[in-house]
Structure 1
Amino acid sequence: MKERVVFGAGDPKGGAAGSVFHLLPSDEHFNHRVQVTGSIMADACAEQLRAFFRSRR
């Protein structure tokens, strides 16, 4: 069975699932394979992240 990663908002500055790094879907150097589904509700997730970090400042 293939494992799955689902994420809401991508990170163009530091992401590892298809933006800065391409660790997911699995690099051929690893012995595990992962199915990746990204940008699920991207706008809502990005706003939630912005609000969180805004509150931390």
Structure 2
Amino acid sequence: RYKTFYDSLFAVCTNNPRTLQHLARCAIRAAMSYRCELGVQQLLLPSSVKKYLLLEPVGIIY
């Protein structure tokens, strides 16, 4: 049913190395573990960065 979407997603994910931005997000989320939601809200960061850390969708995948 979602074959086209997953084909495009896997093409993006497998042909390019992860960005430093993505790796930093993963490291921050891993460090906060289950407290991620609360912890990110307490950080002194712009709301756009908080949204990124909380995996809120922005735009579409190309």
Report the TM range for the smaller structure's normalisation: 0.3 to 0.5
Of Structure 1 and Structure 2, the greater strand share is in 1
- TM-score, normalised to structure 2, is 0.33
